[in-house]
Structure 1
Amino acid sequence: MKTINNIKSRLFCFIVLFIPIIILAQEQGEDPLLYQSIIPMSKQSLLKDVDVIFNTRFSFNSKFENGDYEKSVFSVDQFRLEIRGKIHEKVSFRFRDRYTRAPKIGSQDNINRTTDIAALFIDFTPRTKFSMGKLLADLGGYEFDMNAIYILEYNDILDNSDHNLTGAGISHKLKDSRNTFMFQILDSRTNVLKEQYDNIVPDGTIESKTALAFVSNWHGTFFGGKFETSYSYGFFNEAKNTSMNYIALGNKFKSNKLLLYYDFKYSTEDLDRRGIVRKLVKSDDASKDVVYVENWLRAEYRVQPKVNLVLTLMSHSSYWNSNPDVNACNKLYTSYGLIPTVEYYPFKDLNLKFYLGYIARRYDYSSYAENAYGLEDKNTGRLSFGIIAPILVL
């Protein structure tokens, strides 16, 4: 663990301390040898094809529950270091690591869970690309596709998902350039079965020898770019005769000042991959036959060049179809989310914004869930003020 942290620290120091020295020497026309550059002059031309990005969100949050004030704290909500670029005319790489997540090596994929992406991308043709490594499973929908620093709070499915998986993918853009299709074969999880499910697995569950996921995605563009789609279907082989099916239908509409997104998500899981139902009822049997259904809507309206208004609405419903109680109601709860936000861009030439938003959530449990498991309806709130910026440092 210390070795991993040391590597991160050294990489961070290298970027912050040494690269600016190289650039400064070049800009001032001085002899780079005076600075004893650790990158040979013959290799420095490669930097023109490399981007180094700090994906950041810093905030001050005041939290509430059931109308009562809880506390206020400063927080680094997101800090993801991303390095990407070309190493050949047809070969590129992308690496992104999250500094706001506890490190742990996956027992199946053998890579730290803090690493979002560590992959190579090869252009077979100008319209066909191959990728391999730790990838983002292309699960579709714009809530998923959007940079995480812009999402003040995820809906329940993505908030409980592990969508950074190791495998390979291929994408092909049609000649009309309006449609792109992708197919991925991935490890269906990062850990062996029992570890993935916190050692809570129904009796008789046998780990699959080919625990793979198959994900297909369609990105479409219509009406001169005013309407776009991000539709996907994923099949995850979790164990023998046990699987998860996931559908996401993402839609995007844009006009001069308005951006409108709508996602529909549906997940049916023989084993409770998200763990939402299992955590509610605290039973091994809750690991079987659950269904999650979601809606996510986001509207952005640019009032002025420096002022953007954002409103996010979302709902989630959880169902437990294998409840052994014959009198049970399959639907356990529905949650709702409301996130109004004001964004202010102080600079014309820098993608940095101040924001003020309120994240309101409500959880309504069915009468059965309240009586059987002692659950109570609740609402939470968070007033958040901060800065969002994908900082391009190189």
Structure 2
Amino acid sequence: MTVSNQTNMNFTLKVLSFCAALFIISFNSYSQSQDSTSRPLISFDKIKFLENIDMTFDMRMGMQAYTFRGGDKYYNGVQFKNEHTALGISAKVHEKVDLHFRNRFNKGSDVQTLDQLGSNIELAYINVKATDQLNILLGKMNTFYGGYEYQYSAMNILEYNDIYSRALAYVTGAGIRFQAFENHNFGLQILNSRTMHYDDLYGDIAAYNVEEPDWPVAVVGNWNGRFFDGKLQTNYSASYSNQVKSRGTYFFTVGHKYQSKKFSIMYDFEYSYEQIDTKGIMTDIIQNDNVAEDVRYIENWMRAEYQFNDKFKGLLTLMTSSAYGNFENEKDHTRTSYGVIPTLYFSPFKDIDIRFYIAYIGRYYDYTDYAKETFNVSNYNKNEARIGFIAPFKIL
């Protein structure tokens, strides 16, 4: 060891010794000076309040190896990625009032011009139990869209289909949940249709006849049903939203799920007719400095799960998405995308939910001949292998 290193080590030991001594003296002085005015941050008689608070910390992290092929473009790479990191807090603040909050750290924190919250704040609402059958929700919440792809936490979806990968899932407004019968409940929401004003969202890329509405509003209706002791479930929704004045989006989803002891299968069908393109897929295709108008998106999504044993679970997700424009020659079918995601979960622990996974994600995008000739687009595909873990930690 050099003289310089020896000197540095001696100095470090002296500093640590001094800090330790200072801590002991300070702690002893603090203990001797306790009086009736000193109180802990959370007193013993308040600890019981913590029983009404749930705190979760959700994580999905993995290593991904990917390739992209399209036209004359090709690239690949390998990287670690924090795919999902979120802190959630739920609390019962009154016998009839709950609050819910979730911060997704993977999203931007810029305050949105319409709802005045950052995109990273996904949930910030209260749930008021008006009666045994009726709940009222107020604040920023998840939209009551149907289907089972949407019902999963984003932590559990490695790749969304096209609509839900671009849909605005968390917005501010009011909603009700009504348990009409034991196996059937209904939801209704009135929400902002956007989190930003139109000019902030689209900038100069706007159709010539687009105007900001007095209220960019969305109305969403939802039905959840259970049949045959819960083995068959349904999740349907219908919604209308006006992003601009006098023009809006009609969105319908029907979801079905069959559940047995070890096996489950889900199928969703989605149809979205958009007088102003809110998903941006057709807008990206035509690239004429205007937002696309009168477009349609039709999707299919299927996921099967099988529990091999206590430690291993297999999943297979299949998806398609078709985009349609509005062209004078009526050749409106523009693009179809396909997706396949086989996944294997490994859960080594009984007392905590940590799932290690290995998955392949294949996405293929096929354009029609008309789209290739008119918009100068070409087919492409993305392939990805992932290995990582999913951990919904319950902290409190």
1:207 paired to 2:206 = no
Contact 2:286 2:292 in 1 (8 A): no
Partner of 1:162: 168
* Secondary structure of the corresponding residue to residue 224 of structure 1: coil
Q: 2:108 aligns with which of 98, 102, 107?
A: 102
Number of equivalences: 357
1:303 paired to 2:324 = no
- 1:324-352 deviation per Cα after TM superposition (whole angstroms, max 9, x unaligned): xx346211100000000010111112121
Q: 1:228 aligns with which of 224, 233, 250?
A: 233
Partner of 1:14: none
Q: 2:179 aligns with which of 140, 148, 173?
A: 173
Where structure 1 has 5 or more consecutive residues not aligned to the other structure, the ranges are 1-32
* Secondary structure of the corresponding residue to residue 340 of structure 2: strand
Q: Which one-letter code corresponds to 1:162 in the other structure?
A: L
TM-score between both structures, scaled by the size of structure 2:
0.87
Q: 2:332 aligns with which of 330, 333, 342?
A: 330
Q: 1:47 aligns with which of 43, 47, 50?
A: 50
* 1:53-202 equivalences in 2 (<5 Å): 53-66=56-69, 70-174=76-180, 176-202=181-207
What is the rounded CA distance, in whole Å, between the counterparts of 1:138 and 1:168 in structure 2? 11
- 1:166-194 deviation per Cα after TM superposition (whole angstroms, max 9, x unaligned): 000011102x3100000000011111112
Partner of 1:16: none
Partner of 2:3: none
1:241 paired to 2:243 = no
Q: 1:346 aligns with which of 348, 358, 377?
A: 348
- What is the alpha-carbon root mean square deviation over aligned residues? 1.7
Contact 2:206 2:291 in 1 (8 A): no
* Secondary structure of the corresponding residue to residue 164 of structure 2: helix
Identity of aligned residues (%): 35
* Secondary structure of the corresponding residue to residue 273 of structure 1: coil
Check 1:284–1:270 CA distance in 2 against 1; reply closer, same or farther (3 A cut).
farther
Contact 1:286 1:320 in 2 (8 A): no
- 1:68-96 deviation per Cα after TM superposition (whole angstroms, max 9, x unaligned): 66111001000011000201111001001
Q: What is the CA distance between 1:113 and its match in structure 2?
A: 1.1
Q: Which one-letter code corresponds to 1:309 in the other structure?
A: G
What is the rounded CA distance, in whole Å, between the counterparts of 1:359 and 1:36 in structure 2? 55
What is the rounded CA distance, in whole Å, between the counterparts of 1:298 and 1:183 in structure 2? 27
- 1:127-176 deviation per Cα after TM superposition (whole angstroms, max 9, x unaligned): 110010001011111100111111000000011111211000011102x3
Q: What is the CA distance between 1:37 and its match in structure 2?
A: 4.1
Q: What is the CA distance between 1:266 and its match in structure 2?
A: 0.6
Contact 2:176 2:189 in 1 (8 A): yes
Q: What is the CA distance between 1:42 and its match in structure 2?
A: 3.5
Contact 1:137 1:163 in 2 (8 A): yes
Q: What is the CA distance between 1:244 and its match in structure 2?
A: 0.5
Where structure 2 has 5 or more consecutive residues not aligned to the other structure, the ranges are 1-35
What is the rounded CA distance, in whole Å, between the counterparts of 1:56 and 1:161 in structure 2? 22
Partner of 1:376: 378
Partner of 1:275: 280
